[in-house]
Amino acid sequence: MSFREKSAWISLLSMAGIYGVYFWSFRHAGPQARGFHFGGLLGTISALVVVQILLTVGVAIFAPTEANAPRDERDKLIELRAMRVAYAALSTSVAFACFFGGFIPPLVFNANSLLFILVAAEIMRSTCQIVQYRRGA
């Protein structure tokens, strides 16, 4: 498994786990906990940054030559394909969220739905990268 594939796994699992906890708590907090959402979001972002940095540094320590290797054409092509899929999903989902945002007025819900769409697109990008690395694209 290459360093870039390991990085995609780190991104996928950390985002799914950490943001999963955030959205689960947001869903169950309800409209009563207005101040909780912002503090929870800051904690979520902080946890994500710390986890991804620690895991990426840990992987780089065990394989320093792979971590320092420049991206080759295959890596660039895999990244391009994954970004294309994620961008299509992101732009379509944002258009739907903006349309349906007019029907559901709470700002906190709309902001978190856009955040969910962004996180889902990032998870989709990492998943596409992993699939392509596994296929040997």
**Is 80 in a helix, a strand, or coil?**
helix
Cα 4 to Cα 80, 85, 87, 137: the distances in Å are 14, 18, 20, 14
Instruction: Give pLDDT tens digits for 119-132.
Output: 999 999 999 999 99
Neighbour count for residue 85 (Cβ, 10 Å): 18
What pLDDT, on a 0 to 100 scale, did the predictor assign at position 108?
A: 67
Contact 120, 86 (CB under 8 A): no
Tell me how far apart the alpha carbons of residues 76 and 29 are, in angstroms, rounded to a whole number.
Answer: 42
Instruction: Give pLDDT tens digits for 19-62.
Output: 998 888 877 666 555 544 666 778 888 999 999 999 999 999 98
Q: Which two tokens stand for residue 13?
A: 């699992």
What pLDDT, on a 0 to 100 scale, did the predictor assign at position 30?
A: 61
What pLDDT, on a 0 to 100 scale, did the predictor assign at position 29?
A: 64
Phi first, then psi, for residue 119 (nearest 5°) are -65, -40
Average pLDDT over residues 103-130: 84
Q: Is 31 exposed, middle or buried (0-12, 13-18, 19+ CB in 10 A)?
A: exposed
Tell me how far apart the alpha carbons of residues 51 and 6 are, in angstroms, rounded to a whole number.
Answer: 14
Contact 117, 95 (CB under 8 A): no
Tell me how far apart the alpha carbons of residues 59 and 41 are, in angstroms, rounded to a whole number.
Answer: 27
Q: Which domain holds residue 30?
A: 3-135
Report how many domains make up the chain: 1
